[in-house]
Amino acid sequence: MRKLLGLAVLVGGPLYLRRRREAGRERVQLHFDDGSSVTLADDAPDAQPLLALARRAL
Amino acid sequence: MRAAIGEELGDGLRKRATHVGSIVWPVDVASALADLTEISSQVEAAVVVDAEGAVLASTIAEEPGTERLAVAGLALLEAATSRFGTSVRTVLQLEAALREGSIFVAREGGLAIVARTSAAPSSGLVLYDLRTCLRAAAEAEQKKPKPRSRRAKKTETADA
């Protein structure tokens, strides 16, 4: 049981931390009419002008 | 003694039409927005605009706030379309996630909706709710009676 718990923490911990870190990051997600989508992280050069426009709306 | 059914309904309808802070008149689009804010607790404010960018309804009572959200949202959609859209694909909806909150823009059937949410929302759910609202608003706009053209009337008279 202790081994199982250790394994869960070992696998789930980094995943949880990564998800939390990503949730806190600014990003832009675009969805197209053909079903495709693009995600721009905040360090992508194309994301900055879009994030600046979004900031104006908040 | 209670009021007649018609009077009760009339009161209900009047309440429904005014409980949204709509700055413009199309009640049905405003009702669609009211339903959206009722369903989605994450949506703080939303604006529906037509193809020309004119505001059809808003949940923000003040006009400057409505204008700011609508203009920034449409500019966002335009910038994303000009940068990433091609002849075969166009941006249908987008989410700009900031630390303070998110901005969502979706378009369909000649209408667009711009919404502001709290930070880290459930993107999929919000987008689904926005599309549902947009569909209801587009339906309401289609059902709206169109003003009669005077020119057509004159032609009829001339023909007679």
pLDDT score, position B146? 61
pLDDT score, position A16? 78
Hey, where are the domains in chain B?
29-141
Could you tell me which CATH class the domain B29-141 is placed in? alpha beta
**B48 three-state secondary structure:** strand
Q: Are the Cβ atoms of B76 and A31 closer than 8 angstroms?
A: no
Per-residue model confidence as pLDDT tens digits over A1-58: 888 888 888 888 887 777 776 667 899 999 999 999 999 998 999 999 999 999 998 8
Q: Are the Cβ atoms of A53 and B76 closer than 8 angstroms?
A: yes
pLDDT in tens, chain B (160 residues): 555 544 444 444 333 333 344 444 445 888 889 999 999 899 999 999 998 889 999 999 899 999 999 999 999 999 999 999 888 899 999 999 999 999 999 998 889 999 999 998 999 999 999 999 999 998 888 777 666 555 545 445 445 4
Q: What are phi and psi of A20, to 5 degrees?
A: -65, -40
CA–CA dist B128, B134 (Å, integer): 10
Q: Are the Cβ atoms of B100 and A58 closer than 8 angstroms?
A: yes
pLDDT score, position B16? 38
CA–CA dist B134, B32 (Å, integer): 8
How many angstroms separate the CA of residue A11 from the nearest CA in chain B? 24
CA–CA dist A11, B7 (Å, integer): 63
ipTM of the assembly? 0.70
pLDDT score, position A50? 95
CA–CA dist B16, B53 (Å, integer): 25
pLDDT score, position B7? 47
B residues 91..110 contacting A (CB < 8 A): 91-103
Per CB-CB distance under 8 Å, the chain B contacts of A32 are 84-85, 89-92
Q: Does A35 touch chain B (CB under 8 A)?
A: no
Q: Does A58 touch chain B (CB under 8 A)?
A: yes
